[in-house]
Structure 1
Amino acid sequence: MTRTYAVEQRREKPKPEKMGNSQSPAADPRFVSTARAFTQTELDDLKSLFVSLAAQSQSDGQYISPSVFQAYFGLRGPLGNRMFDLVTQNRKDQKLTFEDLVITKGTYEKGSNDDIEEFIYRLLDVNSDGIVGRSDLEAVLTVMLDDISSQRNSEPGYSPHEGIIKIFLNAATFSKIDEGCAETCMYFEDFRSWCSLLPSVRKYLGSLLMSSDSGRPGYQVPHLMHPENIDSSMIIAKKEYAWHIGGALPQQELEEWKLLYHSAFHGLSFNTFLGNISNDEGPTVLIIKDKEGYVYGGYASQPWERHGDFYGDMKSFLFQIFPKASIFKPTGANSNIQWCAVNFSSDSIPNGIGFGGRVNHFGLFLSASFDEGQTFTCTTFGSPCLSNINRIHPEVIECWGVVPKGAQQERHETGKGTILERFKEDRHMLNMVGLANSSE
């Protein structure tokens, strides 16, 4: 059964006024219940935090003010105001008590997944009208993108919020509640589906009550490295796109991405592509813009190596960027994850690289000519056709090497390696093109 926040809100019964000191744990049975989710050390830490913030609020240790609360957690705008209202249980007294803090963090951080997502769903109603509508999501996404862009203001190629917000909203489903409703509404089930397609959004919204200087999940944007002679305006992977893709990756893979191949600078060449990535054995992000204007791609957790069949693991995924942003992770329906066929002469082993599906009906595939490919509905990733046509013609192809945290320093320390290590790199390239044995 579908649910809306508005319907649930109308069904809520008014709560009786509480008597006595609101600071007393006995005043609210929810405090007793949620406090059990914490260790004594965690409760002591929360108490210390409350005392510190209450002192900054100049409240004689009684409560935390909205401005101090929002400043500490790095919240602002309509999202910050809505969070304060939820934490204080909509009392509108501008006073956040220790009970409030424990109850909210117990629900928001230690509750079941259903409890957490229900809280986030209510949080999205920044207009406080009982409906999670398009205007609510626009306001929340604006705050998110402001936060993301402020992390690396010096980077070029920043995309306007309006266009980025639209691609995230295009992944959402809205429905009418009734004829008297001024705007369409997102049902709770549709909200959960939206979060599954946009893990970066879900991570961000699920970490708002962590300290703003603690490296909160959902805030990291990979540093995009490319040669200085490459015009950044021609690069597809803007920081917001990298943030979107990075939402499906572990924290250590959000440090730095290095441009390994760009068709506008290296040419539409499969051999050049293989040569440029041959010495980078880490994960890669493949991004394609086709001649229809659609942008999509895949994350390959394993190196691109010559195989006569599918290979890879369940860490890989497909994604859409434009005109709709979505992530499609493996469903477990099959293990047809990555494809990399080089110099095969059989029609049953098409030369090129790809993800998912089956031979000649891939979730995403680029032929060895690099001027054509295909994308079909795919059970491997539960993904639709990523473009508006099945037979695609790439306009731009990019490949980024994911540099895990700490790997950059290790490479610097090891330098170019020994003669044996360099021989292994050369042999790796020969293996990719299927020439290793013939060279002996």
Structure 2
Amino acid sequence: MGNNKSLSGPKFHSRFLPEEQAELDRLFAALSPGTGSTGALSRSFSLQELKSYVGEALPPEMVTRLFDGMRRVDLTGKTRGPSESVSQEQFTATMSYLLKGNAEEKSLVILKMITATEGPVRAGEVQKFTEGLVGAVEHVLVHRQELRGWTRRRFQGPLAGVGGLAAQLLSEMKLQGGQKFPEPQWLDCDCDRAVIEDWVFRAPLVGVFLSVVIHRGFLLLSPSLQPAPLLPERHVGLGGEVESLLDVLSAVYLGAQLRGEQRQRWRLLFSSRLHGQSFAQLCGRITHQGPCLALLQDRDGHVFGGFASCSWEVKPQFQGDSKCFLFSIAPRMAVYTHTGYNDHFMYLNHGQQTMPNGLGMGGQHGYFGLWIDSDFGKGHSKARPACTTYGSPQLSAKEDFLFEAMEVWAVEEPSELQRVKKSVLDVDPEARILLEASGRTRHSEGLSEAPDYCSDDPGS
């Protein structure tokens, strides 16, 4: 990293398969109609032609950045300055670096998209580029009608929506001297090629977002060039439509933390807005449903939650594994993973007198990183200075909080083994309520520890 390699010289070779190159050739021909008369290699396209082709699919600022990145590519090493149009070689080289390249090659193009000058750029310029990139992703998904049931821009404030996800990406950047971005006092710091390359490596979503902007903005048709969907399909079921605590960009961010098969389709298991303020309903709907995301919004507007990598089970023991994590969506986006300190990943208990009743993740009894009390509507996030299990700070605005809404999304279909484990009382939480109201107790609940079907071993 940080060497003097540039986008120049005779050694450039396209990485595209023949059918992929044919698709790029088709796109270039559409971008450069009627220019040149001595063959394809003499043809080129202008900024106006690129804007005309893209139309409203991308914001004009991002189209200009892409054009500048392409026209500043010097494949010969002899050009004294950027050209006023983009040749086919420049176009193919840029697409190869952005769609197939490594962090070093992507970072070289990113620098050319930011500035025409050689050398470092200011951190503030990188911030503006990142916000433009995130905004372009949201824009093109809306334009192409690929929201898959999600809505845009639910959150307000400087660290919400586009600004929030951009800030999260920039938090992965290490400035010279080890300073963390994006503290305002560092906006004038220089970011050289090594810093940008390291950032692209640490924040892979930057490369993914560039790929999505190109694929969906230019509508590349080759099947092998199609990126995986950024957003999971949102499935609410027969309970009716409901506004989610997640918007487009927060769903993109959380999906990026999961395995590929967990990004395909999310099923709403529980919503306090649909199913009521009931802990019994929560337990009945989320147990034995496979991995899921639980999130809530406190009365101060903070949105946060946790990922359960295993099916929830009602029992007085900790459960789960090291793939669990806690997260924050508002007022800032962040994910907090296992520290290795203990194995207090998940806890769900109800109807016992000797053990705490509620849903918890991380920490210990009475001091969870995230706790939802069985007296539904209140909880705590006691993490001073940090949650022992996940290293997370206090997620809620107040240590002991009241919350407005809670929802749980399944990210995988449960296995047949998980399905058959659900008892009648699990399937019908109203039956549990009637049982408890009659003064009768479930003597077996929590006393017999069910087999744990969650394991770090993928073959288990």
Compute the TM-score of the two structures, normalised by the length of structure 1: 0.70
Structure 1 match to 2:433? none
- The answer to whether structure 1 residue 148 and structure 2 residue 136 are counterparts is no
Structure 1, residues 392-426: CA drift from partner, whole Å, max 9, x if none? 3222111122245xx8xxx9xxxxx9xx9986432
Q: How does 1:125-164 map to 2 (within 5 A)?
A: 125=114, 130-131=121-122, 132-150=125-143, 151-152=145-146, 155=149, 157-159=151-153, 164=161
Residue 122 (structure 1) shift:
2.5
Question: What amino acid is aligned across from residue 153 of structure 2 in structure 1?
Answer: S
Which of 62, 66, 69 aligns to 1:79? It is 62
Q: Say if 1:304 and 1:199 are closer, same or farther in 2 by CA, change over 3 A.
A: farther
Question: What amino acid is aligned across from residue 367 of structure 2 in structure 1?
Answer: H
Residues 344 and 350 of structure 1 are in contact (CA less than 8 Å); yes or no, is this contact kept in structure 2? yes
Q: Say if 1:46 and 1:238 are closer, same or farther in 2 by CA, change over 3 A.
A: closer
Structure 1 match to 2:111? 122
Residues 320 and 345 of structure 2 are in contact (CA less than 8 Å); yes or no, is this contact kept in structure 1? yes
Structure 1 match to 2:453? none
Q: How does 1:40-79 map to 2 (within 5 A)?
A: 42=16, 44-45=18-19, 47-56=21-30, 57-58=32-33, 59=36, 60-62=39-41, 63-65=43-45, 77-79=60-62
Structure 1, residues 168-201: CA drift from partner, whole Å, max 9, x if none? 35545335689xxxx7568579979988997655
Residue 250 (structure 1) shift:
2.9
Residue 53 (structure 1) shift:
3.6
Compute the TM-score of the two structures, normalised by the length of structure 2: 0.67
Residues 367 and 373 of structure 1 are in contact (CA less than 8 Å); yes or no, is this contact kept in structure 2? yes
Q: Say if 1:354 and 1:201 are closer, same or farther in 2 by CA, change over 3 A.
A: farther
Gaps of 5+ in 2: 74-81, 171-180, 430-441, 449-460
Q: Say if 1:315 and 1:212 are closer, same or farther in 2 by CA, change over 3 A.
A: farther
Gaps of 5+ in 1: 16-26, 412-416
Question: What amino acid is aligned across from residue 40 of structure 2 in structure 1?
Answer: G
Structure 1 match to 2:77? none
- The answer to whether structure 1 residue 271 and structure 2 residue 280 are counterparts is yes
Q: Say if 1:204 and 1:317 are closer, same or farther in 2 by CA, change over 3 A.
A: farther
Structure 1, residues 213-256: CA drift from partner, whole Å, max 9, x if none? 558557522232325665634x3233333222112123332332
- The answer to whether structure 1 residue 291 and structure 2 residue 282 are counterparts is no
Residue 332 (structure 1) shift:
4.7
Structure 2 match to 1:21? none
CA RMSD across the alignment: 4.6
Residue 295 (structure 1) shift:
0.5
Q: How does 1:191-270 map to 2 (within 5 A)?
A: 203-205=208-210, 208=213, 212-213=220-221, 214=223, 216-217=226-227, 219-226=229-236, 230=240, 232-233=242-243, 235-270=244-279
Say which SS state the counterpart of residue 386 (structure 1) adopts.
coil
Say which SS state the counterpart of residue 369 (structure 1) adopts.
coil
**For residues 161 and 359 of structure 1, what CA distance do their matches in structure 2 show?**
32
Residues 284 and 303 of structure 1 are in contact (CA less than 8 Å); yes or no, is this contact kept in structure 2? yes
Q: How does 1:347-426 map to 2 (within 5 A)?
A: 349-375=355-381, 376=383, 377-403=386-412, 424-426=421-423
**Percent identity (aligned):** 22
Residue 329 (structure 1) shift:
3.4
Q: Say if 1:302 and 1:243 are closer, same or farther in 2 by CA, change over 3 A.
A: same
Structure 1 match to 2:290? 282
Structure 2 match to 1:18? none
Structure 2 match to 1:414? none
Residue 141 (structure 1) shift:
2.6
Residues 109 and 116 of structure 1 are in contact (CA less than 8 Å); yes or no, is this contact kept in structure 2? no
**For residues 197 and 54 of structure 1, what CA distance do their matches in structure 2 show?**
32
Question: What amino acid is aligned across from residue 401 of structure 1 in structure 2?
Answer: A
**For residues 202 and 277 of structure 2, what CA distance do their matches in structure 1 show?**
31
Structure 1, residues 89-148: CA drift from partner, whole Å, max 9, x if none? 35233123336624x4554455544x1563475367389894325443333332121123
